[in-house]
Amino acid sequence: MDLMDAIKQRYSCRAYQDKPVEADKLNTLFEAARLAPSARNSQDWRFVVVTNPETRNALQSAAANQPFVGQAPVVLAACSCTNKRMNLCAQPYASVNVSIALEHIALAAVSLGLATCWVGSFKPQQVRQILNIPTDITVVELMTLGYPADKGASQKRLKQNEIACYEKWEF
C-alpha cells in the first residue's frame, strides 16, 4: 500500500473486532512512531499500551464513557516528557511532537489492516491515575487501535483551494 492509499483509507474507527493485535504489528507501529520527527529531536513521546479489558473499561470511564474505548483491543495513552515546554511560536512541544508520532501510528496501522481513532474527550487526571503516570508527564491523547468491525464512511472534505493559497492569505 502506498502512502496516499493509507491516507485515503484512514478514518476514525469506532467499532472493533474482538481480536487481539499481534505483537509484531505493535512493534511496527512503534517503529513508525520512533521515526517521527520531533522538535529539537527531543523524541519526547511515550506510549502506555493498554490491552487488559478491565483497564480499558476504566479508560472508557475516563473518556466520557465512549463505548469504543473499552471495546478496542488496544488503547494507547500518548504522553510527553517535555514538561510543558513551548516552542517559539507558542505551541507546546508535547502536543505537536506526540501528534506527529500518533499520525505515523495511524497511517502505519492502515497499512497493516488495522484502524485507529484519536480520542480527545478524556480526563487526563483520571487517565494518569488509572495508568500510574507520573505528574511530570503530560497525557496528550488517547488512541484506540484494532481490527475494524466496520467499513468507515468517507467524510466530506474541503477542496484544495479552500485550504491552501499561495504567497499571501486569500481566503
CATH number where 144 lies: 3.40.109.10
Confidence at 89, pLDDT banded by 50, 70, 90: confident
The answer to the question of residue 171 being in a domain is no
pLDDT score recorded for residue 151: 85
Residues 15-21 have a mean pLDDT of 97
Cell of 51: 490491552
pLDDT score recorded for residue 34: 98
pLDDT score recorded for residue 106: 98
pLDDT over 80 at 85, yes or no: no
The answer to the question of residue 168 being in a domain is no
* Residue of 70, 132, 130, 76 whose CA lies nearest to 101: 76
Q: Give the number of other Cβ atoms within 10 Å of residue 119's Cβ.
A: 26
pLDDT over 80 at 83, yes or no: no
CA angle 133, 86, 64 (to 5 degrees): 45
CA angle 70, 112, 68 (to 5 degrees): 15
DSSP character at residue 31: H
Bridge partners of 143, per DSSP, are 76, 118
The answer to the question of residue 60 being in a domain is yes
Range of weakest confidence among 28-37, 82-91, 116-125, 149-158 = 82-91
pLDDT score recorded for residue 1: 87
Cα–Cα dist 135/138, whole Å: 8
Residues 3-26 have a mean pLDDT of 96
Q: What is the pTM of this model?
A: 0.94
The answer to the question of residue 148 being in a domain is yes
- The count of domains in the chain is 1
Domain that holds residue 135: 3-163
